[in-house]
Chains A and B, each alone.
Chain A
Amino acid sequence: MARAAAAAATFERRVLRAAAEHQYLRVRLELPDGEARPNVAQLKQLVVSALRELHGEVGAALSVDILTYDEKTLSAILRVISSGLVKLWSALTLLGSYQNRRCAFRVLQTSPFLLALAGNSRELVLD
Chain B
Amino acid sequence: MVRFKNRYVLCEVVSEDPRCRQCIEDRAVSLAVRDAIGRVHGDYGLACCSISFTVKYLNAYTGTVLLRCRKDSYRLLCSALPFVRQLEGRGQRYPCCLRTLHVGGTIRTCQKFLIQYNRRQLLVLLQNCTSEEERQCIQKSLLSCSLTEERSRSGDEEDDDGTE
Contacts and interface: CB of A to CB of B under 8 A. Distances in A.
Q: Do A and B associate with each other?
A: yes
B39 A57 contact: yes
A78 to B, nearest CB: 19
A109 B126 CA distance: 66
Dominant secondary structure of chain A at its interface with chain B: helix
A93 to B, nearest CB: 12
A59 B45 CA distance: 10
A73 to B, nearest CB: 30
Contacts of A56: 37-42, 45
Interface residues on A, range: 10 to 19
Interface string A40-58: 0000000000011111111
B43 interface: yes
Interface in B19-52: 37-45
Contact of A90 (B44, B45, B79): B44
B43 A57 contact: no
B42 A52 contact: yes
A51 to B, nearest CB: 8
Nearest to A57: B40
B40 A58 contact: yes
A90 B47 CA distance: 15
A59 B43 CA distance: 11
B80 to A, nearest CB: 8
A54 B43 contact: yes
Interface in A90-106: 90
Contacts of A54: 42-44
Q: Which 8 A-B pairs have the closest CB atoms?
A: A56-B42, A56-B41, A55-B42, A56-B40, A54-B42, A57-B40, A54-B44, A54-B43
Given A52-B42, A56-B37, 5 more contacts: A55-B42, A55-B44, A56-B45, A58-B41, A58-B42
